[in-house]
Amino acid sequence: MAAVTAEFDVFLNHRGPDVKPNFVAHLQQALQEAGCRPFVDNKSLETGQHGQNKIFEALRGARVHVAIFSEHYAESKYCLKELCDMLESKKLIIPVFYHVSPDSLRCKPHGPYTEAFRKHHRRRSASEVEKWKDALRMAAELEGFKLDYNGDEAELKTKIVSKVRDYLRASEPPLDGPYQVGLEETSKELIETLNSMEKDVAILSLFGMGGIGKTTLAEKIYFSFEKNDTFEKKSKLMTVREKPILDLQKELAWDLFREDVKSMEGFNKCFKHAMDRKVLILIDDIDEKGQFDKLIPDINKLCPGSRIIITSRDSNVVNNIVKVGNCKCLSHKMNLLSTIDSRRLFNWHAFHNVDATDGFQELAEKVADACCNLPLALKVIGCLLFDKREKCDLESTWPQTIKTLSEEEGILGQLRISYDGLSTPASKLMFLDIACFMIGQRKNIAMQIFEACKSDYKGPASSFNSLKDKCLVQLDEDGRIVMHDCLRDMGRQVVMNQSHNMEKGTPSHLWDPEMVQRVLQNKEVGT
């Protein structure tokens, strides 16, 4: 079931002939654009898969079910069976009454579903038919969306996508467990301090070097507050330094106000006139004060009790931000992990246990110590060594890793080991492609691009899964590819080092406009 859950977020239960070519097709696209992963039977099935088994797995794995009740919905035994399974799963069901009313589902005499059930009675057992009727009656009582013949389908689609996206975000589990050693006490103290500020607008700033765990701690605190119903609106803006400000403003305006702004001026107007609710905002990885000013144009407009969490590598940026407006400020400098916590974190990623496997204890301590107590290095190197537990690895791979780590200076050099350890040229190339071009791209779009490059990639899904297993890439809650900026910098450094070793010195990847201009001016573009 875990694999199914990772594959689809939303299951769309519907009768194809009624709604698939128009409404469902548009809804599927809108959900994908919002970063959700919908399952729509034959459109989501791959060649060779058993249809009904795959549909049932997708239904059981999805976190949200959308049931679209149309005029001929009850004619489909598959729709009715799926509805029963959805109700039994106890997961969120969003009913959509598409040109039918909730009353239609109550199976009253002379209703729109009467003839369909007359036919079912002739072909199915009485107990099964009654079970289907009960399921429809239960669905009629659920809160959903209704479209009549004069309704606006585009508006209906937007409302459904909004509800699905909000639920998926709110149901993201907090990042607890052994993966986060050394943060429990810190997060508890910071949360208590923020709570003591009560009705004041409060800003929490976390700062420190790259890879030290700022984002992890920020998300832990954010999820803790997100459970609190006192915040009417919430927004989580990740890797701010990597994104255009207008895109971030659009995301923030939609999360807080459900407004689709088109310009910075539109965002400023929306912010000033609609900020009458208590909000929770996480702004991750700010590298200049201007980014904060454009996202929070006037902190004095925030509703009392609002909370903002920011992360940055630059303490000066943090200091300049906390000086503005009438608000309470709390700053926290991130420190390296203790030796004990470093070893526990490494062991979790290398052995999926806080203790190393017998025979590896001494080597595991030496590897963890060589990572200099930096969480990102401990995680990535741990994942690299996870499947290296044969006798030959004990004698060669682990000692060589310790030697290489000890010789490297700085985080980028340590992370380079994880790139060198990738087992196939395709995995290495995909890592560099993502580091240079694909960060922030939706996975499904990126995979289409990789699949089109058949000379370089044969079975790109395998390469991508390898990068995920090694903790070199991740998918965010919107289905976009994300990579820690230290890993990104390491990948780009690999490209530059490779270009220096080439005869012409032209990089294989051109991600920087100034670099592109220099190459064109020097006429070094290869064929």
Residue 130: Cβ within 10 Å count: 14
Q: Are 66 and 157 in contact (CB under 8 A)?
A: no
Residue 3: Cβ within 10 Å count: 8
Strand order in the sheet with 279-283: 233-237, 279-283, 307-312, 202-207, 328-333
Q: How far apart are CA 101 and CA 84, in angstroms?
A: 20
Q: Are 336 and 214 in contact (CB under 8 A)?
A: no
Q: Are 217 and 225 in contact (CB under 8 A)?
A: no
Given 82, 219, 226, 251, the catalytic residue = 82
Using a 10 angstrom Cβ sphere, with 0-12 exposed, 13-18 middle and 19 or more buried, the burial of residue 26 is: middle
- Rounded (5°) CA angle 428-431-435: 140
Pairing status of strand 474-475 against strand 481-482: antiparallel
- Using CA atoms, how far residue 288 sits from 312, 318, 498, 506, 512, in Å, is 9, 9, 31, 31, 20
Q: Are 220 and 175 in contact (CB under 8 A)?
A: yes
In the DSSP assignment, the letter for residue 459 is S
- Using CA atoms, how far residue 311 sits from 117, 217, 316, 361, 508, in Å, is 59, 10, 12, 35, 33
- Using CA atoms, how far residue 361 sits from 356, 358, 393, in Å, is 5, 6, 14
In the DSSP assignment, the letter for residue 241 is G
Q: Are 431 and 415 in contact (CB under 8 A)?
A: no
Q: Are 178 and 354 in contact (CB under 8 A)?
A: yes
Annotation says 82 is catalytic: yes
Q: How far apart are CA 370 and CA 44, in angstroms?
A: 46
Tokens 């006798």, residue located:
391
Q: How far apart are CA 433 and CA 317, in angstroms?
A: 31
Q: How far apart are CA 240 and CA 227, in angstroms?
A: 24
Instruction: Give catalytic residues, as residue numbers.
Output: 82
